[in-house]
């Protein structure tokens, strides 16, 4: 009996030691943090006038209409302000029609009709996606490049390359919370032909800031502001005239997601549809209250499986 009791004590000792070693081994195992990709930094590929770091999923095709009406108020319009329905029925408007497709997750390509006999082709490449986990990346990063061609008759253009202009824009965004996302947008506009005559530069630089604030599951408040850094003050044209442009571009909009479509209604100090004109030739002054209404509608569908 004593032998059996002693043997039991020894067995329990071995078992407790084994369990202790097992618990120690388990405690030493470290579970790697799960990688989490930040989704829906912005709701669509376009904020108001500028692009965002977002793009469609692989195989997604998107059609977008962006329309700018004329000025809401013009001090020189007199009684015509009411007759023009505050710019909606003035006969001066720009419509931007674009089609884009994402062949892979990180690449988007598209074409657009920018109004006034101007057409565009563009690409967006996404280099970084905001994420946390074993790999911590605090921002999303994309490069947007656009080529614009003016097909309108112009006897002053003797070389076909002078009809082409370009935009290169670096998009740096971060989703700070479920409600707030912000984006920085340094931009270079390049003209093959110097647009303002003699003694001027082919490159026009600007810096922009945009953001989205989520009001509800279906409604967002969007804004964007860009500041032109050169080529807007006392510009000498080829005819010897001196002109000035407005360096500030400001827009505020309300975005509504209806499920199949996304709508955006906005007001801003430009009537142009293309980034080329918006960031280099804008003539509407914020100080003078020169603002115009506009809207955007986009529809997406999958072409693949």
Tell me the β-bridge partners of 170: 143
Percent of the chain with pLDDT over 90: 58
**If you average pLDDT over residues 275-291, what whole number do you get?**
91
pTM listed for this prediction = 0.84
Among residues 158, 159, 141, 160, the alpha carbon closest in space to that of 149 is found at: 160
pLDDT at 84: 59
Q: Return d(Cα 75, Cα 95) in angstroms, integer.
A: 25
DSSP designation for 176: -
Q: Residue 20 — pLDDT band, cuts 50, 70, 90? A: very low
Q: Residue 11 — pLDDT band, cuts 50, 70, 90? A: very low
**If you average pLDDT over residues 7-26, what whole number do you get?**
46
C-alpha angle 221-262-299 in degrees, rounded to nearest 5? 150
Whether 232 and 244 have beta carbons less than 8 Å apart is answered as: yes
Domains of the chain: 35-302 (2.40.160.40)
């Amino acid at each position: 009996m004593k032998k059996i009791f002693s043997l039991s004590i020894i067995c329990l000792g071995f078992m407790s030691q084994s369990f202790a070693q097992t618990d120690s081994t388990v405690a030493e195992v470290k579970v790697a943090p799960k990688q989490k990709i930040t989704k829906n930094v912005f709701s669509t590929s376009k904020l108001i006038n500028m692009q965002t770091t977002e793009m469609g999923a692989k195989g997604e095709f998107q059609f977008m209409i962006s329309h700018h009406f004329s000025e809401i108020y013009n001090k020189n319009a007199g009684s015509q302000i009411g007759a023009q329905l505050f710019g909606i029925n003035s006969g001066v408007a720009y419509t931007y029609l674009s089609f884009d497709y994402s062949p892979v997750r990180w690449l988007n390509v598209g074409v657009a009709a920018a109004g006034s006999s101007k057409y565009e082709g563009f690409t967006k490449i996404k280099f970084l996606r905001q994420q946390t986990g074993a790999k911590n990346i605090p921002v999303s990063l994309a490069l947007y490049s656009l080529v614009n061609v003016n097909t309108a008759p112009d006897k002053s253009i003797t070389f076909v390359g002078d009809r082409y202009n370009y935009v290169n824009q670096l998009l740096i965004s971060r989703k700070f919370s479920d409600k707030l996302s912000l984006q920085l947008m340094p931009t270079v506009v390049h003209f093959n032909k110097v647009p303002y005559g003699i003694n001027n530069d082919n490159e026009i630089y600007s810096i922009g800031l945009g953001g989205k604030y989520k009001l509800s599951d279906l409604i967002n408040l969007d804004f964007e502001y860009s500041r032109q850094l050169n080529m807007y003050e006392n510009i000498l044209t080829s005819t010897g005239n001196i002109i000035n442009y407005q360096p500030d571009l400001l827009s505020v909009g309300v975005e509504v997601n209806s499920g199949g479509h996304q709508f955006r209604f906005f007001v801003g100090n430009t009537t142009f549809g293309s980034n080329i004109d918006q960031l280099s030739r804008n003539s509407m002054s914020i100080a003078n209250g020169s603002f115009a209404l506009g809207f955007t509608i986009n529809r997406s569908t999958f072409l693949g499986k």
